[in-house]
């Protein structure tokens, strides 16, 4: 199926509309637009996916998806038909790529498909959690509430991930500064020290000689360094996309000093919050476990949840199944057990999520506060060591000359 960019006039409002539609031929695209109440003015086949810059600037953010969900929920809740609601949201959407996807979803709905089925065709935007929640809303007749739950779920998940990234950003910036300081010293100051020693016909101290050799190699064979770094980055990115690379990265996240516990709490909060949202909309226990296992975004936790799902399928309570998994923190099965006894598993999972979200907030603040002086000390040691390696030999020369 091809994609066509079109410009058409809405017969009801007389407004011009520009978007894209999927069809096998240009005539079929025109018939589809006429069926939707548009008068086609121009239809052109879209060739390729656009330039690299277009793809980057057309990225669909979490904010774009949340606004779309909340607008659609408001319109449906006000009593508008789904197709009309989709067209209205399309007119209010600014992101071009999201506009294209909304148009394709709308075309699917007008073709007789359910909203959840149309969403499922775009997993890069609407993941399994979204599709399941919308499907549950369709079955229960509470589509607007389901969409609000989707938006709230995405907002909470994005907020937690943003806090983790924020805690990691500062160390990354300081490490870049350290690298720039070292490069500045190597390429500007060290050559001057070498020239001074050569003029005085004095042998360089060992540490200074090492720095001089490093600076000379970097200045003469910089292209080798660029090639090696480029190759390493390329191979690293390829490796991280393989099963072994994903396994390594996810294992490192859980075992990394300081940050390992923080990532584990992030995954538990994500599991509990997603589970609560799904169960509260009527999704079955096994479907909830299957969906949340992939939504966690960690293969080790995913395997743990899948093993627990197999035990639940065999008749064991969820709390018992999760308690046997070492990567699942003890609070999760304990609270779920209370929920099983009271018949409120979704509410207990919501409380678990809130506990871990609050703990993450405090831990991020603590790490951010503690890491700043530590990094400053590291920066001072590195810069001070390089300055010492340069200044001490100069002081030694001055003393020898004075003698």
Give residue 151's pLDDT. Answer: 84
Q: What is the pTM of this model?
A: 0.67
Q: What is the pLDDT of residues 305-338, one digit of tens each?
A: 999 999 999 999 999 999 999 999 999 999 999 9
Question: Cα separation of 75 and 73, whole Å?
Answer: 6
What is the mean pLDDT for each group of 10 consecutive residues in the chain (403 residues)?
72 73 72 77 65 53 86 88 88 86 86 86 82 80 82 79 75 81 79 77 76 82 90 91 89 86 88 86 86 85 93 92 92 93 91 89 79 78 74 68 51
320 CB contacts (<8 Å, ≥6 apart)?
A: 311, 333
Give residue 111's pLDDT. Answer: 81
Give residue 22's pLDDT. Answer: 65
- The answer to whether the CB of 99 falls within 8 A of the CB of 262 is no
The class that CATH gives domain 153-403 is mainly alpha
Give residue 313's pLDDT. Answer: 92
Question: Cα separation of 122 and 175, whole Å?
Answer: 38
Question: Cα separation of 356 and 347, whole Å?
Answer: 15
What ranges do the domains of the chain cover?
1-48, 153-403
Q: What is the pLDDT of residues 145-198, one digit of tens each?
A: 888 888 887 887 777 777 777 777 877 887 888 788 778 877 887 787 777 777
Tokens of residue 124, six digits: 């890069």
Give residue 56's pLDDT. Answer: 47
Task: Encode burial over 295-313: b for 16+ CB neighbours within 10 A, e otherwise.
Answer: bbebbbbbebbeebbebbe
Give residue 331's pLDDT. Answer: 93
Tokens of residue 321, six digits: 């199944």
Give residue 46's pLDDT. Answer: 66
**DSSP, res 258:** T
- The answer to whether the CB of 355 falls within 8 A of the CB of 331 is yes
Pairing of strands 16-23, 38-45: unpaired
């Amino acid at each position: 199926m091809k994609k066509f960019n079109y410009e058409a006039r809405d017969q009801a409002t007389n407004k011009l509309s520009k978007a894209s539609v999927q069809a096998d031929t240009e005539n079929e695209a025109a018939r589809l637009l006429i069926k939707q109440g548009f008068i086609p003015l121009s239809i052109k086949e879209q060739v390729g996916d656009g330039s690299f810059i277009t793809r980057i600037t057309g990225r669909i953010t979490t904010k774009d998806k949340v606004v779309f969900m909340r607008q659609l929920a408001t319109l449906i809740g006000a009593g508008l038909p789904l197709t009309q609601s989709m067209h209205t949201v399309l007119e209010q959407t600014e992101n071009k790529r999201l506009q294209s996807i909304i148009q394709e979803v709308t075309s699917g709905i007008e073709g007789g498909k359910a909203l959840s089925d149309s969403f499922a065709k775009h997993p890069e935007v609407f993941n399994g959690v979204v599709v399941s929640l919308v499907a549950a809303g369709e079955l229960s007749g509470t589509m607007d509430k389901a969409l609000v739950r989707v938006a709230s779920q995405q907002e909470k998940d994005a907020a937690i991930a943003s806090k983790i990234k924020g805690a990691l950003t500062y160390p990354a910036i300081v490490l870049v500064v350290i690298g720039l300081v070292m490069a500045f010293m190597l390429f500007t100051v060290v050559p001057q020290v070498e020239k001074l020693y050569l003029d005085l016909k004095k042998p360089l101290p060992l540490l200074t000689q090492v720095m001089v050799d490093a600076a000379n190699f970097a200045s003469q064979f910089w292209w080798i360094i660029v090639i090696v770094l480029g190759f390493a980055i390329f191979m690293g990115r390829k490796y991280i996309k393989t099963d072994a690379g994903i396994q390594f990265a996810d294992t490192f996240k859980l075992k990394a000093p300081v940050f390992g516990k923080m990532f584990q709490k992030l995954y538990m909060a994500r599991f509990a919050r997603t589970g609560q949202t799904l169960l509260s909309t009527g999704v079955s226990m096994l479907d909830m476990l299957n969906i949340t296992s992939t939504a966690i975004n960690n293969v080790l936790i995913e395997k743990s949840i899948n093993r627990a799902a197999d035990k639940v399928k065999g008749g064991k309570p969820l709390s018992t199944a999760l308690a046997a998994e070492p990567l699942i923190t003890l609070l999760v099965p304990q609270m779920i057990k209370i929920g099983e006894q009271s018949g409120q598993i979704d509410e207990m999972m919501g409380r678990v999520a809130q506990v871990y979200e609050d703990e993450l907030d405090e831990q991020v603040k603590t790490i951010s506060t503690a890491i700043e002086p530590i990094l400053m000390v590291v920066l001072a040691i590195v810069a001070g060591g390089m300055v010492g390696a340069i200044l001490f030999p100069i002081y030694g020369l001055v003393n020898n000359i004075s003698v």
